[in-house]
Amino acid sequence: MRISVIGCGYVGLVTGTGLAEAGHQVICTDNDPERIAALKSGVVPIYEPHLDTMLAENRRAQKLSFTSDAGEAVREGEAIFICVGTPPLETGEADLSAIDNVARLIAAEACESKLIVEKSTVPAQTGQQLKRTLEVYRRNAGVEFRVASNPEFLREGTAVEDFLHPDRVIIGVEDETSEKQLREIYRPILERRFHCPVHLSGCPSTQSPALVVTTINSAELIKHASNSFLAMKISYANMIADMCEKVGANIQEVTHAMGLDPRIGPRFLEAGLGFGGFCLPKDVQAFIQLAERSGVDSGMLKEAERVNRRRIDLFLEKIRQSLWVVKDKQVGVLGLAFKANTDDIRFAPSLEIIRRLLAEGAQVRAYDQEAMDRTSAILPHVRYSREPYEVADGADALLILTEWQEFRQLDWARIYSTMGRPLVIDGRNLLNPGAMLDLGFEYYSFGRPIEALTQHLIPSLDSGASARASA
Ligand code: UDX
C-alpha cells in the first residue's frame, strides 16, 4: 500500500522504515525542515540500532522517501500514520496540539478518502476528537476519513526489532474497511516474513505476533494501561530493594525468585534509579490526568510516580553518606542516556543527579558512548571524556547511571589503581558487588547490602560472574 507517515521522530522513523521494509511504499514528512534535509542526505538524527542501515536500504530501493511538503505527503498515502509527539503539559496532561495541527492539515489537503492511523500515544477518547476535527475542517467534498488507533510498543534501543517482531499488534477500528486495510498493512509482520536483526537480548521471540482487533477507545487505553503497569512494576521492585537494604536481603535474588512465577515474570523488576525516557514518565502522568478527569482514583499511579521520583534523592543520599562533603570533589559519571543502547536523555535521571552535584560544588566529568552530544548542549559545565578511563582518573567517586554493557567489560583493576578514592556508586546494579569488593572498592548499589551477598550466584546473575572474571 501507499503509506504516509507524519512525524519523523523515534516512532515515525521506525514506523516508516519498518513499513517500507515490510514492502509498502512510504513517504515521511516532518515540520522540521532541517530534520527532513538531514534524512534526505542519509543522516539519521537519532541513534537506534539497525535503523540507519534499514533506512538507507529502503531509500535506495525507493520504498521510502522524505518530503518537507506536508500536503504532498498527505495526498500520497492511502493510509496516513500520525506519529507526532504528545509531550506532557505543566499539568501532566498530554499536549495534543501536534495531533490537532496534523488533523487540520490532513482535512485541508486530502483530495481522496483516507485511513487515518493514530500511532502517537494519546489518552483514550482522543480518536473521537480526531474524527470530529477531520470532519469539521474537511475541505474537499466526497472525501471520507476513517480513523483507527494503532498504538506503538517500541522500546528505545530495540525499536527496529520491536516493530518487525512485535509481541502483538493492536488495532482499534470502527469499520470493516479500516480493519481490512490494517490487516493488509501488517500482514508481512504478522506472518513473520523477516529475518530480523539479532535481538539485543539475544534471541528474537519465535511465536507469531498476536493481532488484537478492538475499538479505538480500548486500543488507546491498552497503551497507557501497559506502560503504566510497567512503571508500577519498576517502582514495586524499587520499594522491595529499599526493603532489602533494611532487612539485609538481596534484591536480585528476591526478584529472580519472584520472576519464576509466570504470573509475575522476570522482566522489569530491575531496581535502581527508576524509569526515565520520553514514554513511561509522560504516559503515567497522562494516565493519572485521564483517571482524574474520569473520576477514577489514580492513587496507585501517583504512588508509582512518587516512588520513582525518590530514586534520585536516595542515590544522592548514598553519595553523601560515602563521600561526606561533595563540594570540590571530583565525581566521575559513567552513563548519561536514560537507558542503555540509546542516545536519548529525555527524563534521564543523570541530568538531575549531575545538576544537583554541580549545585553542591562538585567537579563532574562524564562519559557516555552515545549521549554526550545531547547532554553537553544542556549541561555545559561538565567535562566530557571520549573514553571511560579518563572519567575515573583521579576521581573521588565514580557513579554508574546507565546500564551500558561497555561498563561491565571495563578493566576495573585498572580503574581501582587510577581513582583518587576507589568509591563506586552503581545506580543500575550493573556490576557484581563481590567482584568489586574483592578488588578493594568501596561499592554501593540498590538493594544489595554486603550482609546479603551470597556466594552461590543464581543463573540470572551470571553476568556478575563475568564481571568477577573480567575485574
Ligand atoms: C517503554 C516501553 O517499554 C515501550 O513498550 C513503550 O512503547 C515506550 O516506553 P522505553 O521507554 O524505550 O520503552 O524503555 P524501557 O526499556 O521500557 O525502560 C524505561 C525506563 O525504565 C528506563 O529508564 C529503564 O532504565 C527503566 N527500567 C526498565 C528500570 O528501571 N527497571 C527495569 O527493570 C526496566
Strand partners, 65: 27
In this model, does residue 420 exceed pLDDT 90? yes
Please tell me the predicted confidence (pLDDT) of residue 47.
Answer: 86
3-state helix, strand, coil in the chain (%, to 5): 45, 15, 40
Strand partners, 424: 398, 443
Residue with the smallest CA separation from ligand 1 atom 6 is 153
Give, for 145, the enclosing helix (H) or strand (E): strand 145-149
Q: How confident is the model at residue 261 (pLDDT cuts 50, 70, 90)?
A: very high
- Are 7 and 85 contacting, i.e. CB atoms less than 8 angstroms apart? yes
> What distance in angstroms lies between residue 138's CA and the mean position of ligand 1's atoms?
38
Q: Is 331 in the pocket of ligand 1 (CB under 6 A)?
A: no
Please tell me the predicted confidence (pLDDT) of residue 28.
Answer: 98
Residue with the smallest CA separation from ligand 1 atom 26 is 275
Strand partners, 25: 2
Mean pLDDT of 277-291: 95
Q: Is 346 in the pocket of ligand 1 (CB under 6 A)?
A: no
Q: How confident is the model at residue 194 (pLDDT cuts 50, 70, 90)?
A: confident
Give the whole-angstrom CA distance, residue 88 versus residue 86: 7
In this model, does residue 459 exceed pLDDT 60? no
What is the DSSP-derived secondary structure letter of residue 84? -
> What distance in angstroms lies between residue 75's CA and the mean position of ligand 1's atoms?
36
Angle at 229 between CA 348 and CA 17, to 5 degrees: 65
> What distance in angstroms lies between residue 310's CA and the mean position of ligand 1's atoms?
17
Residues classed as catalytic = 279
Give the whole-angstrom CA distance, residue 243 versus residue 248: 8
Please tell me the predicted confidence (pLDDT) of residue 464.
Answer: 45
Taking the CA of residue 269 as reference, the ligand 1 atom at the shortest distance is 33
> What distance in angstroms lies between residue 339's CA and the mean position of ligand 1's atoms?
8
Name all domains of the chain by residue range, CATH numbers in brackets: 2-214 (3.40.50.720), 233-457 (3.40.50.720)
Mean pLDDT of 123-131: 97
Q: How confident is the model at residue 197 (pLDDT cuts 50, 70, 90)?
A: low
Taking the CA of residue 273 as reference, the ligand 1 atom at the shortest distance is 30
Instruction: Using a pLDDT cut of 90, give the percent of the chain over it.
Output: 90
Give the whole-angstrom CA distance, residue 301 versus residue 295: 14
Sheet holding 397-400, edge to edge: 383-384, 363-367, 330-334, 397-400, 423-426, 442-444
Q: Is 366 in the pocket of ligand 1 (CB under 6 A)?
A: no
Please tell me the predicted confidence (pLDDT) of residue 467.
Answer: 41
Distances from the Cα of 310 to the Cαs of 235, 267, 272, 446, in angstroms? Answer: 10, 22, 11, 13
Question: pTM of the entire structure?
Answer: 0.92
Q: Is 183 in the pocket of ligand 1 (CB under 6 A)?
A: no
Please tell me the predicted confidence (pLDDT) of residue 239.
Answer: 98
In this model, does residue 196 exceed pLDDT 70? no
In this model, does residue 470 exceed pLDDT 50? no
Q: Is 234 in the pocket of ligand 1 (CB under 6 A)?
A: yes
Work out the mean pLDDT of the chain and round it to a whole number.
93
Residue with the smallest CA separation from ligand 1 atom 34 is 268
Please tell me the predicted confidence (pLDDT) of residue 205.
Answer: 57
Beta strands in 30-113 (DSSP E): 64-67, 79-82
- Among the residue ranges 98-102, 225-229, 307-311, 465-469, the one predicted with the least confidence is 465-469
In this model, does residue 200 exceed pLDDT 90? no
Q: How confident is the model at residue 201 (pLDDT cuts 50, 70, 90)?
A: very low
Mean pLDDT of 59-87: 97
Strand partners, 398: 332, 424
Please tell me the predicted confidence (pLDDT) of residue 178.
Answer: 98
Beta strands in 7-53 (DSSP E): 25-29
> What distance in angstroms lies between residue 267's CA and the mean position of ligand 1's atoms?
10
Tell the burial category of 290 from Cβ atoms under 10 Å away from its Cβ (0-12, 13-18, 19+): buried
